[in-house]
Structure 1
């Protein structure tokens, strides 16, 4: 069997507490929105290279509000920048946590599947396990492929030559 990288338990109590903490986080962020894939693609992105540009634009707008149209909401721009800045460390922390949970989830699943394959192969190889034939056959269906439709010959005239 391959290397065992994870050996842990997550108790029902701990899982429920974690789920409650996640609920609390969601409650603390009631303004979160859910974008569609199309919306994500169409929105301009504020990344590291654009942060200085946005800061300069805010400074210019703050010092020279006269050239802005009346409909421009400088306070809303300021709130958006502040929210972006406040969410950034939260996003980094949650992203790191999600990567760790994802990796652990994948490793635990891989180890469980590898162990199940070993059990299946040992049971198949040891023909003396009475009463397990049906279970082994059932487990073996996991690996059966559907029959593909019979493909016609690529050159129909070639089959006529052999007749």
Structure 2
């Protein structure tokens, strides 16, 4: 990867504060309608993907027009509520997924660029310390703590 700084923008503090308030507002608004699953529940749940949606819609239509085939343990009202909720939540999930993906990409790249700059600085300080530059050894040792125990291991005799 090149040394180009891809994320060369900074969110002004006032704008960041507004964004944080809007995220909280959205969280407070939608929170009462959401559930949280455990990792195990996520593995076990029978998920409805894009290719299953037409099947579910068609099944609901049939269940409405032919309720005699609906198992006793399934309620038509619950079926309708769940399907409507899927359609409604999709209008939120898709744009939020796009936003979240871009937010994650920007976060990742900003971190990578900051870490690369820190590593470059550390390498420069190590060279300065080897050349006995005043103050460089203390900085090099302090920053080197991050990498303690990493790298080549000396072979036991």
Q: Please, which moves more after superposition, 85-94 or 8-17?
A: 8-17
CA-CA distance at 1:52 after TM superposition: 1.5
RMSD: 2.5
Asked whether the 8 Å contact 2:122–2:140 carries over to 1, the reply is yes
Match of 2:27 in 1: 26
CA-CA distance at 1:112 after TM superposition: 0.9
User: What CA distance in whole angstroms lies between the structure 2 residues aligned with 1:69 and 1:89?
Assistant: 30
CA-CA distance at 1:69 after TM superposition: 5.1
Greater C-alpha Rg: 1
Match of 2:94 in 1: 92
Aligned counterpart for 2:112 among listed residues 110, 113, 117: 110
The count of residues paired between Structure 1 and Structure 2 equals: 152
Tell me: CA distance 1:57–1:133, structure 2 relative to 1, closer, same or farther (3 Å): same
Aligned counterpart for 2:137 among listed residues 133, 137, 152: 133
CA-CA distance at 1:13 after TM superposition: 2.1
Answer 1 or 2: higher relative contact order, Cα 8 Å, separation at least 6: 1
TM-score by length of 1: 0.81
Tell me: CA distance 1:113–1:68, structure 2 relative to 1, closer, same or farther (3 Å): closer
TM-score by length of 2: 0.84
Tell me: CA distance 1:136–1:62, structure 2 relative to 1, closer, same or farther (3 Å): same
1:55-74 correspondence runs (5 A): 55-68=57-70, 72-74=74-76
CA-CA distance at 1:123 after TM superposition: 2.1
Unpaired runs of 5+ residues, structure 1, are 154-163
3-state SS of 2:52 partner: helix
CA-CA distance at 1:105 after TM superposition: 0.9
User: What CA distance in whole angstroms lies between the structure 2 residues aligned with 1:44 and 1:11?
Assistant: 44
CA-CA distance at 1:141 after TM superposition: 2.1
Match of 2:4 in 1: 3
CA-CA distance at 1:65 after TM superposition: 1.9
Asked whether the 8 Å contact 2:126–2:136 carries over to 1, the reply is no
